[in-house]
Amino acid sequence: MREVTEMDEKDKNSYHWYPGHMTKAVRMMKENMVLIDLVIELADARIPISSRNPDIESLGAGKSRIVLLNKADLADAEYNRLWTDYFKSRGDYVLEINAKSGAGIKAINGLVQEACREKIARDKKRGILNRPVRAMVAGIPNVGKSTFINSFAGRACAKTGNKPGVTKGKQWIRLNKSLELLDTPGILWPKFEDPVAGRNLAFIGSMNDEIIVTEKARYGVKWRGSPAETLEGIADSRGCILKGQKPDIKKASGILLDDFRSGRLGRITLERP
Ligand code: G4P
């Protein structure tokens, strides 16, 4: 649907954010912010706090905002409900969705109208009728922005093309008569300075795996059924054996992480409201 830019590629492949990347992300965000009424913020339902950009509220100041808890299919259903209640109690507009299957997506249109009630009323007062809400999708790398745009826009959508006053190259996808979506999402940095968030992001696969130092679990944990022993068991059963018959803990933990990330271990939420 949209061209993959060089920056997307870099972000996807490394998730390393440098001051230069952050400056560029802020610049693009601010550039797009003047064009839109609504930020559709994607978070990961398994870690709804850690997966949000720390500055999204200030970057999106003055705009309506919807929080979508994406990958809800991979998170615990009960916690999806608790997190939805949590965001609602803070006055946020929130929905749990599965961008991959499209589950929950239909409900977004109604929520957009609610979230932009004031803007719509303001337009009406000024005699502007039926001006579509303009929205931008934003979130950290890998949270599902592209998948969501494709799923939300679907096949029937038509690009509205460049319009005067819109920075060259910006494309709007007309979703229906009351909503237009910028086809390029805002890619924002994760909370990498918070060690707990960093660990959570690493678990879901949003950061370099090197951050999860599985070796740690090998030392100082003596009791039976410890993470270390469990990993040794996985190493044994999967044939991850190093020279000298030592279990390959790194490989075993890689298998465990893959199983968690793909949902093969069941639906697991890592953060509690
Ligand atoms: P981004 O633009 O925010 O960087 O994320 P993108 O859409 O590329 O999605 C990142 C990965 O997350 C993709 O998996 C995508 O399929 C998956 N994904 C997105 N939304 C959901 C969801 O609601 N549920 C689940 N289970 N997965 C989701 P991938 O492995 O990189 O690609 P693919 O093999 O699935 O195509």
Q: What's the CATH number where 176 sits? A: 3.40.50.300
Q: How far apart are CA 176 and CA 229, in angstroms?
A: 55
CB 92 within 8 A of CB 115: no
131 within a domain of the structure (yes/no): yes
pLDDT of the residue at 159: 52
8 within a domain of the structure (yes/no): no
209 within a domain of the structure (yes/no): no
pLDDT, tens digit, 9 for 90 and up, residues 238-266: 888 999 999 998 988 888 888 889 888 88
pLDDT at 87 over 90: yes
34 within a domain of the structure (yes/no): yes
Q: Which atom of ligand 1 is nearest to the CA of 99?
A: 23
pLDDT, tens digit, 9 for 90 and up, residues 143-172: 999 999 999 998 645 455 444 444 456 789
Ligand 1-lining residues (CB < 6 angstroms): 70-71, 73-74, 98-100, 139, 141-147
Q: Kind of pairing, strands 179-182 and 172-176?
A: antiparallel
pLDDT of the residue at 259: 85
220 within a domain of the structure (yes/no): no
120 within a domain of the structure (yes/no): yes
CA 15 to chain CA centroid, Å, is 13
Of 43, 73, 79, nearest to 272 (Cα)?
79
Mean pLDDT confidence for 56-84: 96
Q: How far apart are CA 88 and CA 67, in angstroms?
A: 10
Count the alpha carbons within 13 Å of 133 in the hemisphere toward its beta carbon.
Answer: 27
CA 268 to chain CA centroid, Å, is 16
Burial class (CB in 10 A: 0-12, 13-18, 19+), 205: middle
What is the total count of domains within the chain? 1
pLDDT at 40 over 50: yes
Q: Could you write out the three-class secondary structure of 99-144?
A: CCCCECHHHHHHHHHHHCHHHHHHHHHCCCCCCCEEEEEEECCCCC
Q: Which atom of ligand 1 is nearest to the CA of 143?
A: 3
pLDDT of the residue at 155: 62
pLDDT at 224 over 70: no
Identify the sign of the CA torsion 202, 6, 44, 42.
positive
265 within a domain of the structure (yes/no): no
CB 40 within 8 A of CB 134: no
- Measured in Å, residue 163 CA sits from the centre of ligand 1 at 31
pTM: 0.80
CB 252 within 8 A of CB 232: yes
- Measured in Å, residue 143 CA sits from the centre of ligand 1 at 7
Domain that holds residue 30: 18-183
| pLDDT band with cut points at 50, 70 and 90 for residue 86 | very high
Q: Which of 44, 100, 108 to mutate to test the pocket of ligand 1 (most atoms within 8 A of CB)?
A: 100
107 within a domain of the structure (yes/no): yes
